[in-house]
Structure 1
Amino acid sequence: MNYPVLGGLLAISFLVAVYKIQFLIIYPSSLVPGSRTDVDTPSSYDMKYTEETVYAKDGVSLKVFVIPSTDPAAKKTILMFGPNAGNMGLSLPIAHIIHKAGYNVVLMDYRGYGKSSGSPSEKGLKLDAEAVIRFIKLESSLANTQLYLYGRSLGGAVTIYCATNLPQDWIAGAILENTFLSINKCVPSVLPAVGFLSPLVTQTWKSEDLITKIRPEMPILFLGGGKDEIIPPSHFKKLYELCTSQKKQMCIYPEGTHNDTVVQTGYFKDLLGFLST
């Protein structure tokens, strides 16, 4: 038996397995039962909306809800980037509160999520976000409004990417909730048993590098749970320190965990207060 060859084949197989498994862990688009087939709509919350299909540069079709404000003079639009599980229908309770406050709201499903086509990846999600923002700024009835990006967890990384890579006059401000420095630095916390594999992860989402490129005049609101059990609060706090915005704010909710920060006392007061100014 040729042991060096066998060892090489086993090593290659291991690397291939790690490469494939990372996508299932980082982008569990089917984790919530029915999330690929059952997408709640704004009409469930008595909100009028249109459902749009937007195409990314590589041809992937993305499903988008556009929920116009009841105030025709509304000048701000909030584009919500969701976390890594579920679909945009699960963000409707949050969208409803923002909409009631008088804002236009746009929701989207990343590729491989909800009824959008394709398979998720870092490169793909970046293309998705760019496509929807271009749709808002160039094609939709919301083109002349101020666009604010609101990203939760993985959506925060998407937000940071867009805020630093798209035309500066397109993005008026950003809201980041419970997001991370990078995927590589999350692995030891989320999956301690395989933390040693973090250098092999190729879906990196290096927000800690990009956030140093935020333009100084862009308003940024950081929202975080003090008891986040998935993303260490130290990630969130370090991003705030690294952020180059001169108009940054941070709100920590001491009892908030990763998925319930949004229901902590004062959360929406802080969020809507930021948007109103």
Structure 2
Amino acid sequence: MAGRHPRILLSTKALTTVLLAFLALLHTGCSSVFFYPDNTTYITPDRLNLEYQDVFLNTEDGETLHGWWLPAHTDEPAKGTIYYLHGNAQNVSAHILNIAWLPPEGYNLFTLDYRGYGQSTGAPDIEGALHDVETGLRWLAERHTGQPLFILGQSLGGALGTALASEWVQRNEQPELNGVILDGTFSGFRYIAREKLDTFWLTWPFQYPLSWTIPEEYEGVDRIPAISPVPIMIIHSARDGIIPFHHGIRLYDAAEQPKEFLRTDTPHAATFVIPAYREAALEFMGESL
């Protein structure tokens, strides 16, 4: 019997930790579960033989955002500019490998960290992140030189990009978007929150009350139709273990034409490791020029 005692203590400690985390979730609502930032610099573009400039932007609510501008790595005029919105973990320096192939393909690239990520100040939440991505797009708009402009969002970045693109189009903002690519994106903040809460016995009874702490206007399936007539490419892996495949289908079904769907077969947010998937994205942007 004595041998069982430490295991009982460990189990009680683990349960206490889970309960404390759950109480924190009840206090803050679901918004915080979408953001897992850190401040570590994993790699900088120069380590990948890419030119870049640090960009610092001030938001209207007093935060400072850090981003990178990477010019097209070509002697020819750039084919266009891509605004990249990264996923929910770490920071832009951990995601740069997903898109480092784009400047050599002739595209300018701009990406930034949401508040609380990397060198950006503040604490992340959905509303703040939506404000941040619009701040970045307005910075690009001020420097627009007539080249085609695309939004590429992965995972959380795709959800933010969906809301941003829909509002940009509906307000007839300039410059016009030439295309939107959503890769491994969930179909709604509330929807994915309920789905994740449903998988754990302790949070299962609270999946609806907790998800209601997220404003309903953030649902991607409701926002995505308003992006039309801007072309949309939705990419989702059949074996995505983070955002299930049906989220991509829901977004595609809700989107208006012109649209296309690329079914892939990689882990979450690893799409562009495969050359064929890179080519598909380049073809989509080429058709939108």
TM-score normalised to structure 1 length = 0.84
Deviation at 1:40, TM superposition (A): 2.3
Deviation at 1:251, TM superposition (A): 0.6
Out of 230, 245, 260, the residue aligned to residue 233 of structure 1 is 245
Aligned to 2:125: 121
**2:258 is equivalent to residue 250 of structure 1:** no
Deviation at 1:188, TM superposition (A): 4.3
For residues 14-25 of structure 1, the aligned pairs below 5 Å read 17-20=25-28, 22-25=30-33
1: distance between equivalents of 2:204 and 2:231? 35
For residues 44-83 of structure 1, the aligned pairs below 5 Å read 44-71=47-74, 73-83=77-87
Query: How many equivalent residue pairs?
Result: 254
Contact 2:141–2:175 (8 Å) recurs in 1 = no
Change (3 A) 1:172 1:37: same
Deviation at 1:116, TM superposition (A): 0.2
2: distance between equivalents of 1:134 and 1:270? 28
Change (3 A) 1:223 1:15: same
Deviation at 1:225, TM superposition (A): 0.5
| Residue segments in structure 2 that go unaligned for 5+ positions in a row | 1-21
Q: 1:136-195 deviations in whole A, cap 9, x for unaligned?
A: 111x3x443221000001111111111111226432210001111212221344341124
Change (3 A) 1:237 1:17: closer
Change (3 A) 1:59 1:75: farther
3-state secondary structure, aligned to 2:99: helix
Out of 138, 141, 144, the residue aligned to residue 137 of structure 1 is 141
Change (3 A) 1:262 1:197: farther
Change (3 A) 1:110 1:143: farther
Deviation at 1:39, TM superposition (A): 4.7
TM-score normalised to structure 2 length = 0.81
Aligned to 2:46: 43
For residues 1-277 of structure 1, the aligned pairs below 5 Å read 17-20=25-28, 22-30=30-38, 36-71=39-74, 73-138=77-142, 140=143, 142-166=144-168, 167=173, 169-191=175-197, 192-193=199-200, 194-199=203-208, 200-201=210-211, 202-203=213-214, 205-216=218-229, 218-244=230-256, 246-253=257-264, 255-264=265-274, 266-277=276-287
2: distance between equivalents of 1:213 and 1:80? 20
| Residue segments in structure 1 that go unaligned for 5+ positions in a row | 1-13, 31-35
- Which residue type is aligned with residue 242 of structure 1? A
Contact 1:75–1:146 (8 Å) recurs in 2 = yes
Deviation at 1:38, TM superposition (A): 1.8
Contact 1:62–1:110 (8 Å) recurs in 2 = yes
Contact 2:73–2:105 (8 Å) recurs in 1 = no
